[in-house]
């Protein structure tokens, strides 16, 4: 028991928040629709979320109403396969990121769109960039591309049966082909070079029309930094598969009568009863899957969704995205220095798990140095960031609110794991400003002395509903562990502190406002985003609606009695509603955009084993595991819907900082040629077909 207590006191330093957190960078196909991608019409977003401005349509200035249209294929370069990009291009072309996410959730029956895409990325599950990365059967350098795949086509009022003589010149030798005008052309455009595209359109006896366009792909490098809100904690790319049977956990200082059962992991064949042996290595084989397990980094994070949406909305750019955010990160430990990993990659690799993650700034410097070694002109265009909650011990405040049982509360206090408003205020006033000064100093040289290119996306208050009313507290949503019960008085005090002190204080620090001293506000001021906060005022962890998933309404009790207490019945049926836990769907639309502790267990059920052997509990039924598994998968973190809403809010600031506008949709000119003349032995250069271009 002493060993379990030591693990408890040391191993949950950032418990109930799931730990706001960065990662280690050791450092069905759909048709392409270029016009749809260029002519995005964003639908209305929820209240408080600014509408993102899509690229304007290309003006039709070409001869005869025709124009050259082009787009970069698979332009979100994290995806190795174009099919993964195209489902987003199709879903987001006419609606917000949030609306697209909700559509994905319904289409996937709540299993989520990322569950297969996570295995098809240019960054592996250990956080290593693949250099080179094979994308759509072509090897590319991920950080320093030398070319981009482009599709060109003639659009508009194209005459039936017209023949197009195409020519492409990027400064080396012209390439060309002649073909039916309805057929698109695929080629690879050189990075950093403009390609002049010319097409002569011939149709019957009509005058030949010539159109020209400049094709130049802008590759944008974006890094994502921050804590668990930035990493996507709470939203594994593939949720944990749940068993309908129960799994036993011990309670602290309790005998058989203090045991309790919760749903087990599907596929686990080890002992489920307390007192039976169970292998952690075997248990881990059936866990959730993350883009990066050490940092609980997810494709659902607002940072990934915003970078992806940028690629969807602007067909003439490519987005190279470097995700580095990590659950548990603070500015000193995580951003500027190393931090403890959340968990190891898989059971097979757990013996080799280092248990720590390098600092995000160090990883970013390493990546930029490697990129600039190959391409000296390569620069970091934008940083997405959320950080600060761990610096003011927000997880300690959550512990103070939620941990109610006397035994566990005494242990938390003894280990310094229950925070206080007084201590948090002190950190907000004294420690966080100093940390921000160090953060600015580290970021400035990476961004050419312009911190406006840091788009700082604020937190949302997680405990509001019904237009901003604080959640009432109680066991609802937190009865996954017997010791949890959100105290109404403490919850109200923390909610008010977050709304009136922490969030405004964070904005002042990032924006050099309200008396915050910055070396040079003109260059030190970050671009701050908080437009999503008013929308979250209706979607805190206590929000419920008749439209919530049927399982939630039937099985997650509003009274906090969701689970069978009898240790005779619970091993076979742990849920009081009588349904199997396997029916839970982590990715269905629901009123709450903040995951509660029940969601955390049912979605990720995390055993943070990336710690030294001395810190491990005695076995997987240990009381420590019972508590950690309830919160380390993302309790009090945004759902995939919440992240999508945050991404929608961030898009206008991202577009403004990158100076994206109608020009990024391309330009086209057209000029009519004289009517065709009878054939002659020496055809004019305009009539001669150019050399054939290889087809991709």
Q: Are strands 527-529 and 454-457 parallel, antiparallel or unpaired?
A: parallel
pLDDT band of residue 612 (cuts 50, 70, 90) is low
* Percent above pLDDT 90 for the chain: 73
Asked whether residue 60 carries a pLDDT value surpassing 60, the answer given is: no
Q: What pLDDT score does 408 carry?
A: 85
Q: What pLDDT score does 617 carry?
A: 76
Q: What pLDDT score does 662 carry?
A: 63
* Spatial CA neighbour of 204 closest among 64, 62, 61: 64
Query: pLDDT tens digit string along 345-390?
Result: 654 444 456 689 999 999 999 999 999 999 999 999 999 999 999 9
Of the two residues 580 and 11, the one the predictor is more confident about is: 580
Asked whether residue 688 carries a pLDDT value surpassing 80, the answer given is: no
**Element holding 492 (H helix, E strand):** helix 488-497
Task: Give mean pLDDT, residues 469-494.
Answer: 96
Mean pLDDT of the chain: 86
Q: Are strands 218-226 and 175-180 parallel, antiparallel or unpaired?
A: unpaired
Locus of tokens 């408080």: 48
Q: What pLDDT score does 615 carry?
A: 56
Q: What pLDDT score does 614 carry?
A: 53
* Spatial CA neighbour of 341 closest among 551, 608, 141, 31: 608
Query: pLDDT tens digit string along 282-326?
Result: 888 899 999 999 999 999 999 999 999 999 999 999 999 999 999
Q: How far apart are CA 418 and CA 405, in angstroms?
A: 13
In degrees and rounded to multiples of 5, residue 478 shows phi and psi of -130, 10
Tokens of 107: 């289409």
Q: What is the pTM of this model?
A: 0.87
Q: Are strands 317-323 and 668-672 parallel, antiparallel or unpaired?
A: unpaired
Query: pLDDT tens digit string along 218-253?
Result: 999 999 999 999 999 999 999 999 999 999 999 886
Residues facing residue 210 across a β-bridge? 200, 671
Query: pLDDT tens digit string along 73-129?
Result: 999 999 999 999 999 999 998 899 999 999 999 999 999 999 999 999 999 999 999
Query: pLDDT tens digit string along 538-566?
Result: 999 999 999 999 999 999 999 999 999 99
Q: What pLDDT score does 112 carry?
A: 98
DSSP 286-299: TS-B-SBGGGTB-T
Q: What pLDDT score does 405 carry?
A: 87
Count how many residues are written for the chain: 696
Q: What pLDDT score does 297 carry?
A: 97
For the ranges 331-345, 502-516, 659-673, the lowest mean pLDDT is seen at 659-673
pLDDT band of residue 416 (cuts 50, 70, 90) is confident
Locus of tokens 């990160």: 329
Task: Give mean pLDDT, residues 639-652.
Answer: 98
Q: What pLDDT score does 490 carry?
A: 96
3-state secondary structure of 688: coil
What is each CA distance from 657 to 440, 458, 521, 526, 653, in whole angstroms? 18, 17, 17, 11, 6
Q: What pLDDT score does 613 carry?
A: 61
Asked whether residue 40 carries a pLDDT value surpassing 50, the answer given is: no
pLDDT band of residue 23 (cuts 50, 70, 90) is very low
Q: What pLDDT score does 649 carry?
A: 98
Of the two residues 375 and 609, the one the predictor is more confident about is: 375
Of the two residues 344 and 584, the one the predictor is more confident about is: 584
Tokens of 558: 């509003």
- Assess contact for 274 and 4: CB atoms under 8 A: no
User: With DSSP H G I counted as helix, E B as strand and the rest as coil, what are the percentages for the chain, rounded to 5?
Assistant: 30, 20, 50
- Count of alpha carbons within 13 angstroms of residue 308, beta-carbon side: 30
- Count of alpha carbons within 13 angstroms of residue 656, beta-carbon side: 14
- Taking the CA atoms of residue 660, residue 661, residue 662 and residue 667 in that order, the dihedral angle to the nearest 10 degrees is -40
Q: What pLDDT score does 611 carry?
A: 62
For the ranges 58-72, 260-274, 583-597, 636-650, the lowest mean pLDDT is seen at 58-72
Chain centre distance of CA 625 = 27
Q: What pLDDT score does 586 carry?
A: 98
Task: Give mean pLDDT, residues 37-61.
Answer: 36
pLDDT band of residue 481 (cuts 50, 70, 90) is very high
Asked whether residue 279 carries a pLDDT value surpassing 90, the answer given is: no
Locus of tokens 């080890």: 270
Q: How far apart are CA 460 and CA 639, in angstroms?
A: 12
Q: How far apart are CA 74 and CA 393, in angstroms?
A: 41
């Amino acid at each position: 028991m002493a060993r379990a207590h030591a693990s408890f006191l040391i191993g949950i330093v950032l418990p109930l928040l799931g730990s706001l957190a960065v990662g280690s960078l050791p450092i069905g196909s759909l048709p392409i629709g270029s016009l749809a991608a260029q002519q995005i019409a964003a639908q209305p977003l929820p209240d408080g979320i600014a509408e993102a401005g899509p690229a304007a349509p290309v003006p039709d200035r070409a001869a005869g109403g025709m124009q050259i249209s082009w787009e970069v294929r698979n332009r979100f370069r994290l995806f190795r396969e174009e099919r993964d990009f195209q489902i987003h291009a199709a879903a987001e072309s006419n609606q917000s990121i949030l609306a697209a996410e909700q559509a994905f959730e319904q289409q996937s029956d709540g299993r989520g769109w990322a569950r297969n895409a996570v295995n098809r990325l240019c960054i592996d599950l250990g956080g290593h960039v693949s250099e080179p990365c094979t994308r759509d059967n072509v090897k590319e350098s991920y950080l320093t591309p030398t070319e981009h795949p482009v599709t060109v086509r003639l659009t508009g009022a194209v005459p039936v049966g017209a023949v197009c003589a195409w020519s492409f010149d990027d400064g080396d030798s012209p390439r060309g082909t002649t073909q039916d005008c309805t057929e698109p052309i695929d080629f690879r455009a050189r990075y950093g070079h403009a390609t002049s595209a010319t097409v002569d359109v011939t149709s019957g006896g009509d005058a030949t029309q010539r159109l020209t366009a400049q094709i130049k792909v802008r590759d944008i490098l974006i890094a994502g930094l921050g804590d668990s809100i930035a990493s996507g904690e709470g939203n594994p790319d593939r949720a944990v598969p749940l068993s309908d049977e129960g799994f036993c956990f011990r309670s602290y200082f309790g005998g058989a009568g203090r045991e309790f059962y919760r749903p087990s992991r599907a596929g686990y064949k080890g002992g489920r009863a307390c007192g039976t042996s169970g292998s952690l290595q075997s248990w881990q084989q059936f866990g959730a899957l993350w883009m990066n397990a050490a940092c609980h980094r997810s494709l659902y994070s607002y940072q990934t969704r915003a970078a992806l949406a940028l690629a969807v909305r602007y067909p003439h750019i490519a987005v190279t995205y470097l995700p580095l955010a990590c659950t548990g990160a603070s500015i000193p430990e995580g951003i500027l220095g190393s931090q403890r990993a959340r968990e190891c990659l898989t059971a097979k690799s757990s013996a080799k798990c280092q248990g720590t993650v390098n600092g995000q700034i160090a990883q970013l410097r390493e990546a930029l140095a490697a990129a600039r070694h190959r391409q000296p002109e390569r620069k970091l265009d934008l940083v997405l960031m959320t950080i600060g909650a761990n610096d003011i011990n927000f997880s300690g405040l959550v512990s103070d609110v939620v941990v109610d049982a006397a035994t566990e509360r005494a242990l938390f206090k003894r280990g310094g794991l229950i925070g206080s408003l007084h201590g948090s205020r002190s950190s907000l006033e004294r420690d966080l400003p100093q940390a921000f000064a160090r953060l600015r100093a580290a970021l400035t040289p990476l961004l050419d002395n312009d911190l406006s290119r840091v788009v700082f996306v604020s937190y949302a208050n997680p405990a509001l509903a019904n237009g901003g009313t604080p959640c009432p507290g109680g066991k609802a949503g937190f009865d996954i562990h017997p010791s949890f019960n959100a105290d109404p008085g403490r919850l109200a005090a923390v909610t008010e502190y977050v709304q009136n002190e922490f969030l405004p204080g964070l904005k002042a620090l990032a924006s050099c406002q309200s008396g915050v001293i910055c070396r040079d506000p003109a260059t030190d001021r970050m671009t701050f985003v908080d437009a999503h906060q008013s929308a979250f005022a209706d979607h805190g962890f206590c929000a419920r609606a008749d439209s919530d998933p049927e399982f939630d309404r039937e099985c997650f009790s509003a009274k906090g009695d969701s689970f069978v207490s009898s240790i005779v019945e619970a091993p076979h049926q742990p849920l009081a509603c009588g349904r199997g836990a396997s029916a839970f769907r982590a990715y269905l639309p629901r009123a709450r955009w903040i995951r509660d502790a029940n969601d955390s267990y049912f979605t990720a059920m995390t055993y943070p084993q990336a710690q030294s052997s001395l810190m491990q509990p005695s076995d997987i039924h240990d009381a420590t595991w019972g508590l950690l598994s309830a919160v380390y998968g993302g309790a009090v973190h945004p759902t995939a819907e919440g992240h999508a809403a945050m991404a929608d809010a961030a898009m206008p600031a991202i577009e403004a900082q990158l100076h994206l506008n109608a020009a990024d949709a391309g330009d086209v000119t057209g000029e009519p040629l004289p009517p065709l003349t009878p054939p002659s032995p020496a055809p004019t250069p305009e009539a001669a077909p150019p050399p054939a271009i290889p087809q991709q």
